[in-house]
Structures are given as C-alpha cells and as structure tokens.
Chains A and B, each alone.
Chain A
C-alpha cells in the first residue's frame, strides 16, 4: 500500500505559467514533508520542505502548501521555466526521520516553450 501518492505521472505546462504538483498521503504519523527534483541519472535534489505545524512555506518561485485535514500537499512553481522540466518527488517522514523518507512515484513536469 502506497503511503505517499502522486496521482499524475506527468504534467505539461506552458513557460511562464504556474505549475501545480499534487501529493496525497495516508499515514497520519508523517510530520515533515519534502519535495525533490530529479534529472535522469542523477540523485534527487532538495527543493523545499514543510513541517506539519505549518500550512505554507515559500522559497523564491516555489511554494508548498499543506492541508493536514485532507492529508494533501501541493507544490506551486511560479513562473515555470524550461529548466524546471524534471521529475518531481513528494516525500514524507515520521519519528524524526528514523524510518527514512517515504516517496511517491513522481510526476514528470514538462515545461513547453
């Protein structure tokens, strides 16, 4: 059973527009959430994170929103740029990370010129 779900395998967005990537989780013990970006043949690169005590965190063009009651988080990228084309992974942790991160399957974001 997948505890972190990214239901959109791919997403195509026009350059300059907003990209919204979604993630749902089932484990109520998760208390820290992260988004990673991955290019082929490379390791995941950290983008932004949010603790369960917050509902929003912003860093430049990237904003993560957390809705604990719905067990849902989303990553907003504004404006989208060609270099944003990559696979984006949502990840979650509990117990201070002692169980490692639990990842979704990823969403392939394609920015169209």
Chain B
C-alpha cells in the first residue's frame, strides 16, 4: 500500500518562470487537497477535488495559481510567473470519504530566486 507521492521533491526556479507540481494520491482516495506551508506556520489550505471536480478553489492565493485533476487520479498544481513570496513547501493530501483522515505526501519544496 503506497502513500501519497509528490514530484518533484525540490524545485529551484527563477522569478517569473512557471512551475508545475504533481501529486499522486492513495489509489482508492477520491478526495485530494493542496496546501502550502511557509516557515513557522501550519499548512494552509489551497484547493480541494472530489474525483475530477474542483469543489473549492476560492482559497488559491492568486490567479497565478491553478490546479487540475483531469481523470480523477493524479493532480497538478501550477504557479505562473513565480514570485519570491511563492517560496514554500507545497503539500498534497488525500482521503477516502467525508470525515476520514487526510494523509499527506512528502511535499515539494519550492525556492524562487
């Protein structure tokens, strides 16, 4: 039984570039979440999918952030025109149903120079 996986684990980019992160949830989990964590803070919720439907996206930080889950399996989070303030750990989590625990992946650490 594999857990949530994320790729890449680390990304260094220059300001203004676009980046895309991938998340593969636990196979039977139909709910998928993206979070951002900055230094000294807890994870901050960004967006939520149930199967391929994005049910909550108002918490995405700006219109430069977008997420997809085209076939209800893996998901991608894209940040366009990156800024230094986007440097953070981006976490993905999945769960099986309502009221169930969310299980987190190892995260993608982004550094924008």
Contact = CB atoms under 8 A, between A and B. Distances in A.
A binds B: yes
B62 interface: no
B99 A100 contact: no
A44 B91 contact: yes
Contact of B45 (A45, A51, A100): A100
Interface in A10-62: 32, 34, 36, 41-46, 49, 51
Given A46-B103, A96-B99, A41 B45 contact: no
Interface in A54-113: 89, 91, 96-106
Report the interface size class on chain A: 20 to 34
A103 B91 CA distance: 13
B95 A97 contact: yes
B43 interface: yes
B33 interface: yes
B2 interface: no
Contact of B101 (A4, A49, A103, A106): A49
B42 to A, nearest CB: 3
B104 A97 contact: no
Contact of B42 (A42, A45, A91, A97): A91
B31 interface: yes
A46 B105 CA distance: 11
A106 B59 CA distance: 21
B85 interface: no
B31 A97 contact: yes
B102 A46 contact: yes
B45 A101 contact: yes
Interface of A: 4, 32, 34, 36, 41-46, 49, 51, 89, 91, 96-106
Interface of B: 4, 6, 31, 33, 35, 40-46, 48, 55-56, 59, 91, 93, 95, 98-107, 109
